[in-house]
Amino acid sequence: MAQTVVASAVAGCAALALAPPAAAGPLVLDEYVEVPKCVQESGQLCPPVVYRQAYIDTRSVRVEFTASGRHCSEVIAHVFVDGREWGSKRILPGQSDGGYEIPVATVGLHKFGVQAEGVTSGCNTGKLDSWGGTLHIEELPT
């Protein structure tokens, strides 16, 4: 009897060890990003591009930027994928750029980024000093 119990326990452990991992589901990442002090001498484009990396298992992602509601002026949000600009849109404080559905050439690690460009409005009189907001990255079903 003891041998049967041990054999059953060993067989059960072996079955667990060989079972495939549970599917994790699609990636959804929401992360606050910011540049608290733009480093440009003058002008509106605020370096640097702020990047986040994500491992993508699908062939398509949705990337969206929502400006902080604490902004006191509009910005142009420039969205980047793997170092190349994908698109840009002028947005109000607290507003989303509407998002972009972006095809991904390969499964693997990718860089998604955003850079803000100031717009003369509100408190902006010709130079963007800082910016922030939420970067949303979501895998789309293929």
Residues 123 and 112: their CA atoms lie apart, in Å, by 29
Question: pLDDT, tens digit, for every residue of 95-130?
Answer: 999 999 999 989 999 999 999 999 999 999 999 999
**Both tokens of residue 41?**
């001498």
Q: Is 70 left (phi over 0), alpha (psi -120 to 50) or beta?
A: alpha
Residues 115 and 63: their CA atoms lie apart, in Å, by 13
Would 6 be classed as within a structural domain?
A: no
Would 7 be classed as within a structural domain?
A: no
Domain CATH code at residue 100: 2.60.120.260
Q: Is pLDDT of 17 > 90?
A: no
Q: Is pLDDT of 13 > 50?
A: no
User: Is the pTM for the entire model greater than 0.75?
Assistant: yes
Domain that holds residue 86: 26-139
- Tally of domains within the chain: 1
Sheet holding 100-103, edge to edge: 28-35, 131-139, 60-67, 100-103
Question: pLDDT, tens digit, for every residue of 53-79?
Answer: 999 999 999 999 999 999 999 999 999
